[in-house]
A and B are shown apart, each in its own frame.
Chain A
């Protein structure tokens, strides 16, 4: 996508956002809503500017937790997917528990994680990992198992071993599926990190976005709270965008080589 077409694509949603901000500002002024309930966008912007350092620091901390969780998901989810693709028995007996990871309410498990692992980064990472691992497992397993039958016969013609099939056919062939899974997991990891911070935190002096959201809501600093919520949304977007971009680059290499002629 060229820069011009990207700008064209971004224009309509941007317009909607600006219109939304305008209406919001107008409603706050016209209805004289109290700032502790619904702060006007200008007020939120003022608060965000005033606490820019704290917000950036918090976003960075939460990003570390989310990235740690996403990384753990990729490693553990990838290994589980390989296991599932290699053993029908393992897949059949363990898959229900993988679904369990998806269905268990993370807010219910997070306190348990704190009991077991204490407060701090490790618990935040673990919460983010639990929430984000499932798409990697399912997408990865699908990609590893779903192989063109003709390619399987091609490898069978060379009497390829299981390991050769895995390393030279299944793993490289599943890259698009892992990328798709990672894109879903990126957003989930940020949510997981914030939920993790609600319970585990990074300690009294190091506030991540999750802890900041709790603190500002407790003190009715609603405009600051809004700024923190926007920062969390932005962080999710940035992480998703980064993973999508990396994935697209990897896929381009994967299916590409169009330019490698001569």
Chain B
């Protein structure tokens, strides 16, 4: 095995994933995510973009090819708590307070409880939820729950954060706020982040690069750098240079999507 490039964090080589039922979710994927990069993966639904995250987290095995994180198998990276996952839903446990929810990963890792509490306090403060530490998830709005979910992911101070359409279920305004929040957190700690989304605007706003996947089985059809300056905020969405990048991503995405049978216009 060649010496891993220290600048690359995730390396996928000829990665293919076939589900037990025989469905080919990903095929021949070559992708390098650099350390400290915020990469966004976008593609039509069912293209395997979530599957890519699951393989990177060690939650799903690769059927073909390899994927390494920092030169190691994803399971080993997970075992040393260097990777965290933010799910589509907040996935907070209703019977636990926010504080107890946020410290869960440390509790499961049997970290001393004093350390758990300090880390959970800090993570809650980071997302502005300190005063709700004792409240349960039922007391919170959708956006607050998602922020708590972010805090839980960051409580182990991971080097790699994987986000699976994390704000997809939120309303537009809350989504904008959370994107700002994520950008702020990433600018502060510069962990490596891979976010999956189906929103073009979100992809361009967040990403250093936007990788466009084709319909199933997912292959990379475009790898588009986003040359917009940082720090970025949601207000950037209205700018002309933003629109230019977004138009390119949209065009590539449209080409990658399967034809819509309800679309009666003649394609040329």
- A residues whose Cβ falls under 8 Å from a Cβ of B: 148, 150-151, 153-160, 164, 168-169, 172-173, 175, 253-262
Contact = CB atoms under 8 A, between A and B. Distances in A.
A258 B138 contact: yes
B135 A260 contact: yes
A172 B135 CA distance: 18
B108 interface: yes
Interface string B103-140: 01101110000000000000000000001101110110
Contacts of A160: 108
7 contacts: A151-B91, A156-B59, A157-B105, A158-B105, A257-B139, A261-B131, A261-B134
* Interface-centre pick from A155, A175, A260 (highest chain B CB count, 10 A): A260
A155 B93 CA distance: 11
Contacts of A151: 91, 93
Contact of B136 (A148, A153, A175, A258): A258
Contacts of B196: none
Interface of A is mostly: helix
A258 B78 CA distance: 34
A125 to B, nearest CB: 32
A74 B89 CA distance: 33
A255 B95 contact: yes
Contacts of B79: 159
A151 B83 CA distance: 17
Given A150-B87, A150-B88, A260-B136, A157 B59 contact: yes
Contacts of A253: 95
Contacts of A168: 104, 107-108
Contact of B139 (A157, A173, A254, A260): A260
Contact of A157 (B78, B88, B93, B138): B78
Contact of A150 (B89, B94, B135, B136): B89
B57 interface: yes
A116 to B, nearest CB: 41
B132 to A, nearest CB: 6
A261 B132 CA distance: 6
Interface residues of B, number: 29
A172 B95 CA distance: 7
Given A156-B59, A258-B139, A148 B91 contact: yes
Contacts of B88: 150
Contacts of B87: 150, 153-154
B136 A157 contact: no
A128 to B, nearest CB: 30
B24 interface: no
B178 interface: no
A262 B83 CA distance: 32
Interface string B44-64: 000000000010010100000
B8 interface: no
Nearest to A258: B139
A158 B108 contact: yes
B135 A157 contact: no
Nearest to B88: A150
* Interface-centre pick from B81, B88, B138 (highest chain A CB count, 10 A): B138
Interface in B56-86: 57, 59, 78-79, 81, 83-85
A57 B253 CA distance: 78
Given A151-B91, A154-B85, A157-B78, A257 B109 contact: no
Contacts of A260: 97, 134-136, 139
Contacts of B93: 151, 169, 172-173
Given A153-B87, A173-B95, A261-B134, 12 more contacts: A150-B87, A150-B89, A153-B59, A154-B85, A154-B104, A157-B83, A168-B104, A172-B95, A254-B94, A255-B138, A260-B134, A261-B132
B78 A257 contact: no
B59 A175 contact: no
Closest 6 CB pairs of A and B: A257-B136, A158-B108, A261-B135, A258-B139, A254-B95, A255-B94
A169 B93 CA distance: 8
B108 A255 contact: no
A157 B85 contact: yes
A155 B131 CA distance: 26
Contacts of B104: 154, 158, 168
B132 A150 contact: no
